[in-house]
Structure 1
Amino acid sequence: MLGINSFAQGLADNIVGEIVDKSGNPVSGAMIGVLSAPEIKVYSDSHGQFEISASQNDKLIVDAPDQSKKQVVVNGNKRIKIVMDHASQPVNIGFGIKQTVGESTMSVASAANSDFNNRSAKNIGNSLFGNVLGLTTLQGTGDYSSYEPTFYVRGLQTLAGKNPLVMVDGIERNISYITPEEVENVIVLKDAPAVALYGYKGANGAINIITKRGKYKSNEINFSYDHAFNWEERRPEFADAYTYANAMNEAFVNDGKSPKYSALELNAFQSGKYPYLYPNVDWIKECFKDVGASNIFNLSFRGGGTRMRYYTLINLQDNQGFVANPNMNDGYSTQNKYSKANFRTNLDIDLTNTTKVLVNIDGTLLETLRPGLSSDNLWDKIYTVPAASFPIKTESGLWGGNATWDGYSNPVALTEGRAYSKAHTRALFADLTLNQDLSAVTKGLSAWTRLAYDNISAYWENHTREYQFGSDAVSEWTNGEPSAYSHYTGGKDGTMSSDSKLDWQNKNFNFGIGANYDRTFGNHSISSVLMWNYEYRNSNGQNNTWYRNSASLYNHYGYKGKYYADLSLTMAASNKLAPGHRWAFSPTVSAAWVLSKENFMKNISFVDFLKLRASWGIINVDNIPAEGYWEQAFTGGNGYNLGGNYDWSSGWQEGRLASTSFTNEKSYKYNLGLDASLFKGLNVTLEGFYQRRSDIWVSAGGTNSAVLGADSPYINGGIVDNWGLELGTDYTKSITSDLLVNGGLNFTLSKNKIVDEREEPRAYNYLRRTNNSVEQIYGLQAIGFFKDQADIDNSPAQQFSQVKPGDIKYKDQNGDGVINENDEVKLGYNYVCPEIYYSFHIGMEYKGFGFNAMFQGVGNYTAVLNTKSMYWPLINNTNISNYYYENRWTPENTDAKFPRLTSESNENNFRTNSVWLENRSFLKLRNVELYYKFANSLLAKTKYIKTAKVYVRGVDLLCFDHIKQSDPEQYGNNYPLTRSVVVGVALGF
């Protein structure tokens, strides 16, 4: 226990205290001070305990390592327990502006490390499914190295540039390299005041990743190791060779051709008698194993004294993919591999009593390896090449291949004989902030400056091996046996060739300077910031250098600790915008009323905290339609025969006309919110929001006639409305000293409407995109399949291609007797971002044994099932799935799900229509954890180990949805999504 003696007259009572978080865990390394005597400071020990001298009615200020803060009035008790409750949780909007939920006027949601660090994810982005109210997180696809999510804050808000600003410690950065272990809080900024200080960048909301910092008077060492068993769920199931051959025959007959395969050939595929001539290759089974593995090691050091605090993390990760036979060549592997080393150190240094320095350094070394060239696109080949195409290798040992599917389409050859490619990524993120207390000039005044520099580069190695391939085909049969053959060979055997290049590079620089004024006058409190910020962002290539400036004044005012108001004024500039029109002004205002501190609420015992808030503001956006949109464009045009030899010379022609409007896109945001804590454990947040996005850049082509004779310019003519509601609840309660329960839910409904996009005139109102949602799907409404020729003759003519029985039959929307593009209507919802996003979690711990589970789902979300081979089969020599084959139209199965088979391009069937739409809603068990925390009495015998936990986790184990054959988050011809079981241990020293 840490304590001090009396420092001032009247502070004669020693107060013994304990600080715990909402789950009852001790909070170590917190600083506790006396408001009326700033020189008095003590620190909580490893058990969360402290001792301080204070008198009756003094206010104790608690500043915890996770940036939560709380004021507690000494009421005469010499023993107090301080719970860092919902109202004390941090609201960090960047630029050193740190508030609590209790005093914030803004719409801000957050998640703590204990909320999201239970998926054993490679980075923080893959840890956030359902954890933060208002944040939509959707899983991406690809191999492990490119397995990244997509974020939206409050859905789709505009016509272009829809993603939020993503930051680490207030600086825009790539979070792919940030591990969950090093993150203290994830803060999502949603309304206008919360994002105002970010100038042009915050209109779509912002995600601020707050990394861990040191602790006062502490010294902690933490180690964790996770080992994951991974498998790819819902791999596609393609037809075997015999089924494929029958499907092709059926397609040929449907197309008016003779069958492609004879009865003898069908029998050969079915019997497997001639595997080199009539193969039956399960390419997925031959290429991939069922289970992969990954490992994550974390070692961190956290602590410090009164003059310096530190947090240091060493993170090592590796992932072994699913390639079945990666070690078929001496000297190298063709396995999908991912290896990363990450080092972070955060320092807080008090150079003097008035001068403080914050230093953050994060370095990453990353290496990924893939079989063959990345351009080989292995899974695309899996979706393309049928089981009957060719053998893996010929009888003479050549890799299989033929004139239709060459050897570089052979999936096994690509995983074993094509060599490998390797990417190296090197990243350094560094920032320094210097704070100077200027109370000597005037009380409450301070100044700061921040300098940040990031450099990320990726280098690509291609190690390519050519090889010879071939196959044999039967050209004649005699007495039911092959008797003559044709031979095909292609490619060439060669040594491995290698080359390397700089793939991409990003360099970012930030500089800021500001002055703060924080002062309390009786019942009045003021917190103001005047600052200027400069940003430089550059990536390799042309026209990829951006400069932004902003000058801001932020004011936070409080009265009696229950009435708060904020005012932000920001002037921002961006070199993306036209010269002379690069500056824009963004004002925002917000207010909050803490009702629970009013006298009329004192007797309502179940209300612990209740606050109403409202905000309004204008946020400017520097999204642009094209580089140099304010200039006349010229493009290549027709040419002339010139010169003595009359050689052809290309010409130039007028392209897009220069824009004559120079304003920028704007966001008008409105927000109403309620925050409450009830029944000593239930936290509730309720939000309602509305936004109008105006002056969006769109083409003027919709309002100009083609008689203009040139491409129309861009104009600020787009308007989009976005509105919705959010509800978040969380309940944490210690039922007994041994039993802790928790649960909660998050729900977001976000809708939008295109009010104006200067749409061209359309023949019918139902064709108009205006007044419908952003990314709304449009297509033809299917009413069945043509039964026979008579049905075709007695139906409106469908003008896309010649139709036959089994083709899709469409509704004539306008009654003109023909089916064409004028019969397209809106179908389903959008395919980009769901309108409904929700999650719920439950957990319990009893005497160290515990579990927690997180479910997350979406609604009002539509899939367009246009994946080749799986849903659009056989065309252009592609494969066919069992699912399609079993549900296709035939004369005997007219009540089918899919149209007839065809080997030819079919514009009538394979276009966007209701046959290919599916409800994309899903509910996933994102993570479940079973664990045991060893008792303190047992660990005390080890002398050095303070905490120990063993656990088993399941990641994305269950999915309830309507698609079934593919994952609703990824149904294209790419890597299937993975599921995992993780075993792990965490130790604290």
Structure 2
Amino acid sequence: MKRNKILVLSLLACASMPAAAQNDSIKELSAAEKFAGQKIDVGADRTFTREEATAAVSVITSETTDRRSARNIGNSIIGQGLGLVSLQNSGTYSAADPTFYVRGLQSLSTSTPLILVDGIERDIDNVSPGEVESVQILKDAAAVALYGYKGANGVILVTTKRGKYNSKEVKFSYDHIYNYMVKRPQFVDAATYASAVNEARANDGLGARYTADEIGAFRDGTYPYLYPNVNWVDETYRHHGVTNKYNVEFTGGGKNFRYYTMVNLITDKGFIANPNENDGYSTQDKYTKGSMRVNLDADLTPKTKMRVNLLGVLSESSSPGANAEAASDAGNAAAGPANIWDMVYSLPSAAFPVRAESGLWGGNPTWSGTVNPVAQSVGAAYSKNHTRSIFSDITLTQDLSAILEGLGGTVRVGYDNTSNIFENHSKGYDYGSQIPGAWENGAPTIADDYRVIAESTMGTAAETNTYAARFHFDVGLNYGNTFGDHSIYTQLKYDYEYQETTGLNNTIYRQDVSWWSHYGYKNRYWLDLALVGSGSSRLAPGTKWSFSPTVSAAWVMSRENFLKDVEWVNLLKLRASFGIINADYLPGDNVWTYYTQQYVTSGGTYPFQGSWTSQFGRTYLDRLATENPSHEKAYKYNVGLDASLFGSLNLTFDAYYQRRTDIWVEASGAYTEVIGLDAPYENGGIVETWGFEAGADYAKRFGDWTVNVGANFALNHNRIVEQMEEPRLYGNLVQTGRPLNQIYGLKAIGFFRDEQDIANSPTQTFSTVRPGDIKYEDVNGDDVIDANDQVAIGFSDAAPEIYYSFHLGAAWRGLGFDAMFQGTARYSAVLNTKSMYWPLINNTTISQYAYDNRWTADNPNAKYPRLSSQSNANNYQTNTVWVEDRSFLKLRYIELYYNFPQKLMDATGILGGAKLYVRGTDLFSIDNLEVSDPESYGVSAPLTRSIVAGLALTF
């Protein structure tokens, strides 16, 4: 029998049997049948199989949503989902959430996609991987049509698990996670630092700061309190942290009732090296989160069904207290924790000891603006953040076939609330040290006994820091039926939502009225039509409402007579879509700045903009009002192909084009300064994006062996067509026509060899140049190097144009492994991190990498310019020396596991399954940045790698 007929019969059989039996049956489906039967949700209160769906949607199933042992589903799906660009960010465990783009950068306004959990906009940070059934990436107009103003940048739809009829099951899992930092910054020792400072001062034409005796003292450690040698990274942070993750799931139900309940607990202890030196409290970076989900489905009557989703989250994070210099007493403690990594990146190893000989925390007036990071991590006490969240919605579905066969209705109400309480228990501490003087008889003298009195009692302040609330309501009427070869599903729906956040005038109201229809002929031709009217309180009167039409179609070629007898073709489908998706994005937070004339009172301005000053204080006009405002529009085109071959190979291909128009831009390029007012914002921006996505997955059983391999590849390119750019003096400065977030800078052509080389070269105007400084190309040919010689260099530093991944796995009699690699290309980094790449400026330190790669007369072909002790505007421009290829290939996860034999589980009488596993996440990276991580570099916590030991039990 033809395989696609088997698919239809299998799905029909699954639909008519109990859920537990369904699960067993689904396990026997081939990879092709699973692919064709994937549920696609485009917001129409009904899911469609991939075979009949017309939209461009990729699906991440529950089989792969928890391979990284991450704290939330957002961090778990990094590298997964065809068309999804997901990038890690640095930070503490509680704050390191990824950045997402669907099909890359799309607009001058924003490219952030809409994130939905069970159909309502929610924070993905609160959802644990274990409770997720699937994550869908909605990419084209047909997929996002019903999400109104919020769907223009694509949608990430998270669907949580539900119960099963006539069953009961308990699952427990425990992950013990060992985290360690990668590419921790390495700064030079004290003697090398002192030599580097002297070299930099000599390069600047200045005298030495440190004598030979002092450098020797730094090197041999003879006077550790006067001439210290402190590795601030190792003294402040340990190399490892530990996370424990517990998850319990209860799934089941009876004849008319289903339930799914999940309890999740995460505890994490960070990298502070000495957090327990105080009596009664710890200063460790800690995070604890407990969450509980309850999803209920009840058949109230044979024709009335109720669905309830509840999620409660309690979390607490703790970190060292606020900056000591800003916290002179408990009542005046600075709000929020100090940035200790910034201190580590700033402070030289030679600055002062961790503690003075007297026991006082180290400090020195030369570095009075840089706090002792060890003291800050131990002596400033701590602060806490408490977050309390509740997410709830209830849906009633009514079968109205008594009125008309196939008629139904739904109504849903949702309410979410999140609040954050900040506790400030910071305190100040005394610090100082002895200051060395001149050397006499081969030994240093004491010039001063420096001390700052800042000791204070621990703070007790607590306050509500932020809150957010969201109300959602929708009601719909739908009709579905089949008439011979014809099938139809149509829906009329009204959506209403308001959200409010901390602050004044932040409440946003949105409404959508939509009609969506899905028509099929002979299960081989499908046509979808969506007509959506959307309203938003963010938009100006007269423009609040918009109309968004979308049309899409699919042709299931594998059901045609010329392919029906081809056994190895299980599914072959062509798709196409077009739609206009409107957006209510604005260029900032203050909506009214763009619609009405602004009047601002200031004591030093009359009567023009801020650059025109006088001694009179009065009200003045600030910015011209926008005339004839509109709203941003996305014209989306997509063609795609879905195929399943040989029962085991699944293929997906999509090509797309999008034109964004009426994007809000600041229109100063279209106005003259003579008017004396800031130019208005106008709907003048246009951006084109285009690209393609290709995915392949192969899964097959060979006796006792199962294998699965696959790959995804996406190219996302964009171009600014119009942005009301001001006239440029030279063509190389024009940014219109270039990609979004294109880096602009100077083209370096080497380093100046000597004074003669400087004299024979065009004048560089940024600062006085010396041998070893960067030499730039005179791009415009005017014999002067200045800002007019900037050109497009590298690619975007916000998102890569190429994003790809590949995975492989195999299993034999319960023993198996899975691994996924993910990479990027056409992606750039600007290496301007202080001390790491730009050393010594503003009294900072220098990394070992910068020191080893600096220009000297003996190393004229170095990677980086000479050292400078003062600000060097010539060298520290954005230029090709500092722009690096940010491409990378990472092992996102590898898992080795063993599933115990089912016979052994049956013999226990309790267990239905048991799995032991060891995982590794982000274990290695192939990239071009030797001492930084390409995903996240700068003055911040390094990214981490993890080793996980875990156990999963099913009862």
| TM-score category of the 2 structures, normalised to the smaller one | over 0.9
Once the two structures are TM-superposed, the CA of residue 650 in structure 1 deviates from its matched residue by 3.4
Post-superposition offset of 1:637: 3.7
* CA shift digits 1:173-217 (9 cap, x unpaired): 001010000000001110011111111010100000000011122
Q: 1:43 aligned to 2:12?
A: no
Matches for 1:470-485 after TM superposition, within 5 Å: 470-485=432-447
Residue in structure 1 matched with residue 950 of structure 2 by the alignment: 984
* 1:620 match: 582
Rounded Cα–Cα distance in structure 2 between residues aligned with 1:87 and 1:21: 8
Structure 1 residue aligned with 2:519: 557
Q: Give unmatched runs, 5+ long, in structure 2.
A: 323-335, 607-613
Counterpart secondary structure, 1:151: strand
**CA, structure 1 residues 695+590, in 2 after alignment: closer, same or farther (shift >3 Å)?**
same
Q: Distance in 2 between matches of 1:516 and 1:650?
A: 63
Structure 2 counterpart of 1:14:
none
Query: Residue type matched to 2:159 in 1?
Result: I
Q: Secondary structure at the match of 2:854?
A: coil
Question: Are the aligned partners of 1:364 and 1:428 in contact in 2 as well (CA < 8 Å)?
Answer: yes
Structure 1 residues 116-175: Cα deviation after superposition (integer angstroms, max 9, x where no partner): 211000000001122100000000111101010000000111002111001101110001
Q: 1:917 aligns with which of 883, 896, 902?
A: 883
- Going from structure 1 to structure 2, the CA distance change for 1:913 and 1:654 (only over 3 Å counts) comes to same
Unaligned stretches of 5+ in structure 1? 1-18, 35-40, 51-63, 67-78, 642-646
1:654 is displaced (CA, Å) by 0.9
* Alpha carbons 1:408, 1:414 under 8 Å: kept: no
Residues 640 and 947 of structure 1: CA distance in aligned 2, closer, same or farther (over 3 Å): closer
Counterpart-to-counterpart distance in 1, 2:31 and 2:615: 85
Q: State which of 462, 466, 474 in structure 2 corresponds to 1:504.
A: 466
Question: How far off its partner does 1:602 sit?
Answer: 2.1
State the alpha-carbon separation in 2 of the partners of residues 649 and 822 from structure 1.
37
Identity %: 52
Superposition map of 1:948-967 within 5 A: 948-967=914-933
Q: Deviations over 1:89-125 (max 9, x none)?
A: 0101234231110000011111101122110000000
Q: Which amino acid aligns with 2:624?
A: L
The structural deviation recorded for 1:683 is 0.3
Which residue in the other structure is 2:777 paired with?
Answer: 811
Q: Does 1:743 align with 2:709?
A: yes
Structure 2: how far apart are the matches of 1:650 and 1:709? 17
Find the residue that maps to 1:270 and give its secondary structure. Answer: helix
1:651 positional shift = 2.1
Does the C-alpha gap of structure 1 residues 588 and 927 become closer, same or farther in structure 2, counting only changes over 3 Å?
same
Q: Is 1:732 the equivalent of 2:699?
A: yes
Residue 663 (structure 1) aligns with: 630
CA contact (8 A) 1:20 1:48 kept: no
Partner residue, 1:60: none
Task: Determine the structure 1 residue equivalent to 2:726.
Answer: 760
- Per-residue deviation, 1:407: 8.5
Among candidates 99, 120, 125, match of residue 48 of structure 2: 99
Aligned letter for 2:661? Answer: S
Is 1:782 the counterpart of 2:744 in the alignment? Answer: no
Give the aligned partner of residue 249 of structure 1. Answer: 198
Change (3 A) 1:21 1:781: farther
Are the aligned partners of 1:407 and 1:490 in contact in 2 as well (CA < 8 Å)? no
Correspondence 1:191 to 2:140: yes
Aligned partner of 1:709 in structure 2 is 676
CA distance in 2, matches of 1:215, 1:120: 25
Q: 1:150 to 1:639 in 2, by over 3 A?
A: closer
Is residue 232 from structure 1 mapped to residue 181 from structure 2 by the alignment?
A: yes
1:128 is the counterpart of 2:93: no
Equivalent residue letter for 1:565? L
Counterpart of 1:948, as a letter, is: A
The residue correspondences of 1:967-982 to structure 2 (distance < 5 A) are 967-982=933-948
1:757-800 deviation per Cα after TM superposition (whole angstroms, max 9, x unaligned): 11111111121001100000000000001111111111000011
Q: Displacement of 1:479 after TM fit?
A: 1.4
Distance 1:789 1:636 in 2: 53
- Decide whether aligned partners of structure 1 residues 595 and 46 sit closer, same or farther in structure 2, where only a CA change above 3 A counts: closer
Q: Distance in 1 between matches of 2:63 and 2:630?
A: 45
The within-5 A match list for 1:338-487 is 338-373=287-322, 374-406=336-368, 409-487=371-449
Residue 624 of structure 1 deviates from its aligned partner by 1.2
Residue matched to 1:317: 266
Contact conserved, 1:111 with 1:131, CA < 8 A, in 2? yes
Q: CA 1:757–1:407 in structure 2 vs 1: closer, same or farther (change >3 Å)?
A: closer
Is 2:274 the partner of 1:274?
Answer: no
Quote how far apart the aligned CAs of 1:903 are.
Answer: 1.2
How many Å separate the matches in 1 of 2:308 and 2:710? Answer: 36
Secondary structure of 2:417's counterpart equals strand
| Cα 1:96/1:247, change in 2 over 3 Å | same
Say yes or no: does 1:651 pair with 2:613.
Answer: no
The one-letter code sitting in structure 1 at the alignment partner of 2:576 is A
Task: Report 1 or 2 for greater relative contact order, CA contacts < 8 Å, sequence distance ≥ 6.
Answer: 2
Q: Kindly state the Cα deviation for residue 494 of structure 1 after the two structures are TM-superposed.
A: 2.1
Please give the alpha-carbon distance, in whole angstroms, between the structure 1 residues aligned to 2:378 and 2:542.
58
Q: CA deviation at 1:603?
A: 3.0
> What amino acid is the match of 2:597?
Q
Q: Does 1:157 align with 2:157?
A: no
Q: 1:116 to 1:786 in 2, by over 3 A?
A: same
- State the Cα distance separating 1:635 from its structure 2 match: 2.7
Aligned equivalent of 1:212: 161
Q: 1:82 to 1:804 in 2, by over 3 A?
A: closer
Query: Which one has the bigger strand percentage?
Result: 1
Corresponding position: 1:287 with 2:249: no
Describe the shift of the 1:48–1:191 C-alpha distance in structure 2 as closer, same or farther (beyond 3 A). closer
Aligned to 1:886: 852
Q: Which amino acid aligns with 1:43?
A: P
Displacement of 1:257: 1.1
> Which whole-Å CA distance do the structure 2 matches of 1:45 and 1:926 have between them?
33
TM normalised by structure 2 equals: 0.95
1:791 to 2:766 alignment: no
Output one character per residue of 1:416-460: Cα deviation in whole Å (capped at 9) or x when no partner.
111001000000000000011000000000111010000011111
Distance 1:635 1:829 in 2: 40
**What is the correspondence of 1:510-589 to structure 2 with a 5 Å cutoff?**
510-589=472-551
* Pick aligned residue for 1:874 from 840, 845, 853: 840
Separation in structure 1 between the aligned mates of residue 43 and residue 128 of structure 2, nearest angstrom: 20
So what's the TM-score if we normalise by structure 1? 0.92
**For the residues of structure 1 that align with 2:930 and 2:129, how far apart are their CA atoms?**
31
Aligned partners of 1:251 and 1:574: how far apart in 2?
A: 58
Is it true that 1:722 corresponds to 2:689 in the alignment?
yes
Answering whether residue 268 of structure 2 is matched by residue 302 of structure 1, we say no
The residue type equivalent to 2:320 in the other structure is P
CA distance in 2, matches of 1:469, 1:639: 41
- In 2, Cα distance between the equivalents of 1:927 and 1:484? 56
What is the rounded CA distance, in whole Å, between the counterparts of 2:35 and 2:355 in structure 1? Answer: 64
Offset, 1:649: 7.3
**Residues 399 and 407, structure 1, Cα contact 8 Å, conserved in 2:** no
**Take 1:919 and 1:945, find their aligned partners in 2: how far apart are those partners?**
51
String of CA shifts for 1:215-268, please: whole Å, max 9, x gaps.
Answer: 122111000000011100000000100010001111111111110001111111
Cross-structure match for 2:328? none
Q: Does 1:630 align with 2:595?
A: yes
Measured after TM superposition, the shift of residue 636 of structure 1 is 3.7
Aligned counterparts of 1:545 and 1:325: Cα–Cα separation in 2: 44
- How far 1:43 moved relative to its partner? 1.5
- Specify the alignment match of 2:907 in structure 1: 941
One-letter amino acid of the counterpart of residue 919, structure 1: D
Given residue 673 of structure 1, which amino acid in structure 2 is its aligned partner? G
Looking at structure 1, the residues matched to 137 and 694 of structure 2 have their Cα atoms a distance apart, in angstroms, of 15
What is the DSSP-based 3-state SS (H/G/I as helix, E as strand, rest coil) of the residue aligned with 2:881? helix
Q: Is the 8 Å Cα contact of residues 94 and 169 (structure 1) preserved in structure 2?
A: no
Deviation at 1:46, TM superposition (A): 5.4
1:58 is matched with: none
Are the aligned partners of 1:31 and 1:43 in contact in 2 as well (CA < 8 Å)? no
Q: Is the 8 A contact 1:465 1:497 kept in 2?
A: yes
CA distance in 1 between partners of 2:199 and 2:778 (Å): 30
Report the Cα distance in structure 1 between the residues aligned to 2:945 and 2:341, rounded to whole angstroms.
18
